[in-house]
Each structure stands twice: as structure tokens, then as C-alpha cells.
Structure 1
Amino acid sequence: MTALLEITSLTAGYGAAPVLHEVDLSVGEGQIVAVLGANGAGKTTLLRAISNTLPVTAGSTRFDGIDLKSVKVERMVRHGIAHVPEGRGVVTELTVEENLRLGGLWRKEKPKLDEVYELFPALANRRSHLGHQLSGGERQMLAIGRALVAKPRLLLLDEPSLGLAPKITALIMGLLRDLRDRTGLSVLLVEQNVRSALSIADEGVVLNLGRVAARQKAGTLADDADLRHAYLGF
């Protein structure tokens, strides 16, 4: 499988303290890769390093052959990368529809919001509601929907199930799997809900103290009891 995202010997952190140490990782076209590990393992740091919201100390991050270290944060989406950070970062003072339109600002053509409303009918029913009037699940749908308006090739998704009811988590995971199958979207998914993540992922990468402890096919990783007990807590 052709690698769309290729990370080699990536070292990054905050100030003088590295969090990631020589991480190697790749995401292929139309592939979901789940990044797993305990709190503090470096999962969120990895996504921030890829999207250049955190300086990279050493190593390389390449997307479709482009060196991402030379790409400004605000231009990432133009290259086909959308980052949905932990915390459902919607603009609470704007309506659902206004938030979605933000995702398509850089595109020349008019954003196709109806496609998002088809994916998330709950948002269609609340399109005129302000962000602060939405439930946690609706905010997560909105954050993902806004990213999808930009028509990314790669979606960086940080803890989408955090604080959500199991039913909403299942809906979001099913949507990601469907988008991969129908559109070829690639996803790098950081997730604490290991079972949910591995149920839709093609591969799983386990981080431990900023290093890759294991990388296996998702089904193999789910069946590896010793590794799960050692690094994932179940």
C-alpha cells in the first residue's frame, strides 16, 4: 500500500523536553491507523507535530511526498490535511451552519454542507443553533463535519469518543469506517477507547513513553493479550 503520510525518526516535545522519541509511522491511502497508549504516551503530541502546531526537533514528516515541516499551520488544509483536536473545538458563538462554512473558506467552490447534514442528521435539525447550545455529541459531530467540508485526504482525529455516550461513539466510529470505504479517506485516529478504535482500524500503533512499542494489524493487536495487558490496560 502506498504511504500517504510517512513519519521517520520523529522527535518532538515542549521546550527542551522531548515527548516523542524517533517515532516511525505511516498511513496508507484509504487506511485507518489507530494510535493507542496510556495517558502521557505522546499520542496528542504526535498529531500536533504532524500538523505543525508543535515544533519538530528531529526526523521527518512527509505527506504525499511534501515535507510538512515547511508547511505553515494555516495551509495544512490546502494540502489535504484536516486536524480535529481533542476538545471539540467549535466556535461556540457561531451557529452550526456558520461553523461548517468555516471549514470550506479556503475552497473556491461553494462548500457542500448538505453532504455533512446527510452524514449527521442531528446537525441538520440544529443548523441555526449556536455552538454552546449543542450537546457534547453534537459538538463532536460538528467538529468532524467542519473538517470534512474541507475535503481532506487525511483526517487527524484526537479522542473523538471522549466523554460521549457509547451510542454516539459507535455512530462516529461507523461513520469513519464508511468514509474510508466510500471515499478512500485516510485517518490517523488517536483514541483511548481501544476496542472501538481497533474495531474500525486497519492497523494499530501502540505508543509507550513517546516510543513505538508495537505496530500490528488491528485484529492481531486486539487478540494479543500480553501486549494489551502491558500497554493498554485490558
Structure 2
Amino acid sequence: MTERAELEVRGLTARYGAVTALDGVDIIARPGSITAVLGANGAGKTTLLRTISGLVPDAEGSVLLGGRELGRTAAETIARAGIAHVPEGRGVITELTVEENLRLGELLGTARRGFRHRLDEVYDMFPALAERRRREANSLSGGERQMLVIGRALLTAPEVLLLDEPSLGLAPRIVARIFELLRELVDTRGLTVLLVEQNARSALSIADTGFVLNLGRVVAADDAASLAADDELRHAYLGF
């Protein structure tokens, strides 16, 4: 296992017009861990991931990967530096086949050598994709599309995987399987995952640490077990 880089966010502030979506956010995602980012709708979770990946280019503060400053850098440069972003919504190109969608991961990959091996690993990880590799992506279920976008992100050989609401709209058994695979990727390959989730209970069950956002600010940060055990925090911000 190669040594992985730490993702650190310092004083991150982002605005949409007069609205401050992030207000001085500090977050650390340790190498080889799952860090959950939790909070209600409008807390700033999606904006956090979009800012880290360069889709909100005029943000203030720092985004560091392994000590290298990536803030205010083009999204493509950030992707090539080793940060893969899976946004909410399971965005696949429906006219392309499953394998053609996966091969798009080669275009922004940090290591093109070994792509065939990584593709085989994705098929091993998601057998449903292997069975449907020649079919158009519009034939996939919601769960299969989520597997497809995660697989495509993994094919870029990322240091850090940013996941935005991967459980949204999926059956509980599919969510459980995806979260199980995420935990396996972290434990066996040292992948670093920053997981944004509204399903706080499920996210904390697989996470190592967690941060809770409210109105663009961090209101709690601790190991996952401690956050899950804090009744006052759960009732106030996490909805369970």
C-alpha cells in the first residue's frame, strides 16, 4: 500500500451572491479513513465538496492535499492532483455503454498505466456492471448507476474520494452494500474518503471521524462513535 496524502481544509469561505454558504470551515480527512460530513439541508455540505474540487473557484481559504495548496485551482488540475468528486445525482452519460462511461475515468486519471487492471478490479467490485458492460447506461437501476459513478471515480486512481449523498433514493440493502464496499476500499487500499450524507446514522456506522455543519459552520467534530452517542447533538442536527 502506497502512502496516502492528507486532505486539509482551512478557513474555507464560499458565497453565492449575498449568501454565505461556508463560513471559515476547517476540516481534516486523514489518510486511509472515512470522514463523514453531516448536517441538514442547506448546511453547506455540497458546497464544501464543490469548493474542494474546484467547482466554486472564488472561495477564500486553503485546500491542501499532502501539504500542497490546491485552492483556487482549476477543477481539472485538482482532479489530476488526485481528488475524485462523485456529485449528488448519479450523473452518467446514458447514451454510452457502461464500459464507455467507465473509460471516461481514464481521461482524468493520475496514473494511466495499469488502467486495464483497475477496470478489472471495478468489475470484480461491482459484478452487476461487469454483466452489463456492453449495455447503454440508461438501462441501469439507480443503485447500478451509483456503482457506475463510483467505479468511474476509482478508475482515476484518486488519493481522495469525495462522495455527495451516495445513498440518496436507494434501497437500504443497496446503501448497505455501497457503504460496505467503501469501508473495504479504505481498509484494504488506504483510500481517503470524504463522505457527505444526510443519512447520518448509516454514515457514522462506517466513518472514522465526523464533522457536523450548520449554516456553513462546523458545530461539532469528533470520532464517529462519539458523535453517534451524543443525544443532544443527534437530535439538534442529525435527525436520529
Same fold (TM over 0.5): yes
Contact 2:61 2:71 in 1 (8 A): no
State the Cα RMSD in Å.
1.3
- Please tell me the residue identity of whatever aligns with 1:109: R
Cα separation, 1, equivalents of 2:179 and 2:199? 11
1:135 Cα shift? 0.4
Cα separation, 2, equivalents of 1:117 and 1:14? 40
1:10 alignment counterpart: 12
Cα separation, 2, equivalents of 1:56 and 1:35? 22
> Is residue 206 from structure 1 mapped to residue 208 from structure 2 by the alignment?
no
Contact 1:36 1:43 in 2 (8 A): yes
> Is residue 132 from structure 1 mapped to residue 134 from structure 2 by the alignment?
no
> Is residue 54 from structure 1 mapped to residue 56 from structure 2 by the alignment?
yes
Cα separation, 1, equivalents of 2:236 and 2:71? 34
Cα separation, 1, equivalents of 2:238 and 2:20? 22
> Is residue 227 from structure 1 mapped to residue 229 from structure 2 by the alignment?
no
2:203 alignment counterpart: 197
Cα separation, 2, equivalents of 1:204 and 1:110? 33
1:130-209 matched pairs, under 5 angstroms? 130-209=136-215
> Is residue 109 from structure 1 mapped to residue 82 from structure 2 by the alignment?
no
Cα separation, 2, equivalents of 1:76 and 1:168? 30
Contiguous gaps of at least 5 residues in structure 1: none
Judged with a 3 Å threshold, the aligned counterparts in structure 2 of structure 1 residues 14 and 206 are, in CA distance, closer, same or farther, namely same
1:65 Cα shift? 1.5
- Please tell me the residue identity of whatever aligns with 2:225: G
1:87 alignment counterpart: 89
Q: Deviations over 1:117-161 (max 9, x none)?
A: 000001011101111111000000000000001111100000000
Contact 1:10 1:56 in 2 (8 A): no
1:108 Cα shift? 3.3
1:25 alignment counterpart: 27
Cα separation, 1, equivalents of 2:137 and 2:59? 36
- Please tell me the residue identity of whatever aligns with 2:171: A
Cα separation, 1, equivalents of 2:182 and 2:130? 19
Cα separation, 1, equivalents of 2:129 and 2:59? 40
Cα separation, 1, equivalents of 2:212 and 2:5? 19
Cα separation, 1, equivalents of 2:5 and 2:14? 21
Contact 2:59 2:72 in 1 (8 A): no
SS of the residue aligned with 1:127? coil
Normalising by the residue count of structure 2, what TM-score does the alignment of the two structures yield?
Answer: 0.94
SS of the residue aligned with 1:21? strand
Contact 1:9 1:21 in 2 (8 A): yes
Cα separation, 2, equivalents of 1:53 and 1:195? 28
Cα separation, 1, equivalents of 2:128 and 2:214? 37
Contiguous gaps of at least 5 residues in structure 2: none
Of 208-217 and 10-19, the range deviating more from structure 2: 10-19
Of 116-125 and 12-21, the range deviating more from structure 2: 12-21
SS of the residue aligned with 2:71? helix
SS of the residue aligned with 1:22? strand
Normalising by the residue count of structure 1, what TM-score does the alignment of the two structures yield?
Answer: 0.96
1:120 alignment counterpart: 126
Q: Give the aligned length.
A: 233
Cα separation, 1, equivalents of 2:185 and 2:196? 17
- Please tell me the residue identity of whatever aligns with 1:202: D
Of 72-81 and 22-31, the range deviating more from structure 2: 72-81
Q: Deviations over 1:99-132 (max 9, x none)?
A: 1110012443252311100000010111011111
- Please tell me the residue identity of whatever aligns with 2:104: L
Q: Deviations over 1:59-118 (max 9, x none)?
A: 111111111125311122221110000001111111000011100124432523111000
